Structure 1
Amino acid sequence: MLRSELERFIGEDLGEWDDSSTLIPELTACGIIIAKEDCIISGLAEAVEIFQYFGLKSELLFDDGEFVPAMSTVLEVVGSARKILQSERLVLNFMARMSGISTLTRECVLLAGGVRVAATRKTTPGFRLFEKRAVYLGGGDTHRFNLSDAILIKDNHIMILGLKECLRRAKDKSSFTKKIEVEIESLEDMLIAAKEGADIIMFDNMDPAKIAEGVDVLKKEGLRERVILEASGGITLDNIKDYGRSGVDVISLGALTKNARWIDLSLEIENDEEWRAKSEIA
């Protein structure tokens, strides 16, 4: 991450006068981070960056995106005891949040039956890059990072200008490198979007049976191979299998970032004998 970004995160957490960490004298200690539940671990790269900023040495025992069994040690850190305490909460916040997203994403990917699972822009302001990276580490697709990545014509665009005019303007104004996606709520609009040159059609809040019907219509019209089909809206762990069987290419869920539960992680300081023994073995 950018140094300015990292320092903003650190400044937010340390504040102006850290009396808590300075209770501890300047001595060397070893800490371990433990995953207290099964998870897809992520945020390790960010943890290393944070620890490095504080002058601490860390060793990864797992890779980002790897499955971690409950009660596993995922990282060891050595250095100033005071610095370990100062960096502890920021590291754990990154890892717990990102690992929760990666774990939920992997679960959705396994349930989707080979259909690509994507995130949305429903992210925490200022933290989107890391939440999107967590989706990627869980096996998902990041979708758009921002409004400049692709043109997405939504219901409000259509309400203002009409679907055909939106598509006309999109094709006229955008670069040839930029894909055009249309959010549709009816099979009539689906056909218009496909015939008028949309690259991606998103079935918005449409049930799997209706989507499957739309896919069949596109096949009969000879339009199916022209477009990427995406399902979005109201998709959960309980129904994602049905959407995976509907015939779409992509399933996007705001839930990957919006509803992901934080993973239970903790940093524990080891006693002198434990970490000095490890150092001698190493």
Structure 2
Amino acid sequence: MLHPLTIEPLVRAALLEDLGRAGDVTTDSIVPADLRTAARIAARKEGRVAGLEAALIAFRLLDPSMEIEVTQPDGTDVPAGGTIATLSGRARALLTAERTGLNLMGRLSGIATATRALVREVEGTQARIVCTRKTTPGLRLLEKHAVRLGGGHNHRFGLDDAVLIKDNHIAVAGGVRAAVERVRANIGHMVKVEVEVDTLEQLEELLPLGTDVVLLDNMDPATLRRAVAMVDGRMLTEASGNVTLATVRAIAESGVDMISVGWLTHSAPNLDLGLDI
């Protein structure tokens, strides 16, 4: 689980964005400051819960005395109509934090639910579903955690934790070998190196260089099978491009170790949730 200290600044920023300069003028006009009430966070559709901890921080920031009972914690599957958590506290805090909490939960639960679907589709193969850096600015930590809650795995978190030599790097360097040699002259011995290739010819050029991972970009399943055979276990293989629920099984059956999916974090549909007083 993520430490609350890493989540709170993100939630606080989201609340401040919503509160603006004058606060919740609607709720503060209608609801007495001392009124207390109870509400439940409910799922309108079935899905995998993610982002509940972030949502609860939003409510607690506005009412530290908020009483919370969690029914479906992060990482569990909730049925349509199911209660995820029950909250009891100041009515103003519940109403003011509602949209921030549900925005975070709906976004992250949608990612976890989409990841879960892909993971189930590749069961029985060795392939892992992994995310990419195609995340919402400022929310990468939460979105990558949601992928894990859906049963997937994380690719690199940023530009600094691994080398990924892509097509534009190769173009600037003048070839695969030149790019790899320049990287090795500059990085530490603990940093792993991955290279993206678009063709089997590029893969052939890469194999003698002995990198850690090869990214097989936009190859059909038949070409992926040939690539996996060429690699023959000398490095990890990652497939990317044109991955959908309909295509992911065939990609996994090619024998690749990982399948990276950008849309999990840039366009997975929200899970429909609601706060019911």
Q: What TM-score comes out, normalization by structure 1 length?
A: 0.91
Tell me if 1:257 matches 2:242.
Answer: no
- Percent identity for Structure 1 against Structure 2: 40
SS of 2:154 mapped into structure 1: coil
Retained in 1: the 8 A contact 2:43–2:82?
A: yes
Determine whether 1:19 maps to 2:25: yes
Q: CA deviation at 1:166?
A: 0.7
1:225 deviates by 2.1
Mapping for residues 51-90 of structure 1, pairs under 5 Å:
51-55=59-63, 56-90=66-100
Q: Residue in 2 aligned with 1:49?
A: 57
Could you say which residue in structure 2 is the equivalent of 1:111? 121
Match of 1:248 in 2: 256
**8 A Cα contact 2:7 2:54, kept in partner:** no
- Counterparts of 2:209 and 2:159 in 1: how far apart (Å)? 22
Preserved CA contact (<8 Å) 2:10 2:139? no
Tell me the equivalent position of 2:141. Answer: 129
Q: Distance in 1 between matches of 2:82 and 2:239?
A: 37
8 Å contact kept, 2:41–2:86? yes
| 1:89-115 deviation per Cα after TM superposition (whole angstroms, max 9, x unaligned) | 000001100000000000001112341
Alignment TM-score, normalising by the size of structure 2: 0.92
2:198 aligned with 1:185, yes or no? yes
Q: What is the one-letter code of the residue matched to 1:69?
A: P
1:216 is matched by which residue type in structure 2? A
Deviation string, structure 1 residues 105-151 (Cα, Å, up to 9, x no partner):
00001112341000011111111111111101001111111111110
- 2:209 alignment partner in structure 1: 196
Classify 1:62/1:125 alpha carbon distance in 2 versus 1 (closer, same or farther; 3 Å). same
Instruction: Letter of the 1:68 partner, please give it.
Output: V
How many matched pairs?
264
Higher mean C-alpha deviation, range 8-17 or range 70-79: 8-17
User: Deviation string for 1:227-282 (max 9, x for gaps)?
Assistant: 0000001111110000010110000011111221111100011xxxxxxxxxxxxx
Structure 2, unaligned runs of 5 or more: 1-5
The Cα RMSD (Å) is: 1.2
CA distance in 2, matches of 1:143, 1:102: 15
Deviation of 1:169 (Å): 1.4
Q: 4+ residue stretches of structure 1 with deviation over 4 A? A: none
Matched AA of 2:199 = S
Q: In the alignment, is the contact (CA less than 8 A) between 1:47 and 1:91 conserved in 2?
A: yes
Q: CA deviation at 1:2?
A: 5.2
Please list the CA deviations of residues 12-67 of structure 1 after superposition, one character each: whole Å capped at 9, or x if unmatched: 01111121110211211001011011100111111221122112222211121111
Compare CA radii of gyration and give the structure with the larger one.
1
CA distance in 2, matches of 1:20, 1:163: 59
Cα–Cα, structure 1 residues 159 and 231, in superposed 2: closer, same or farther, change >3 Å?
same
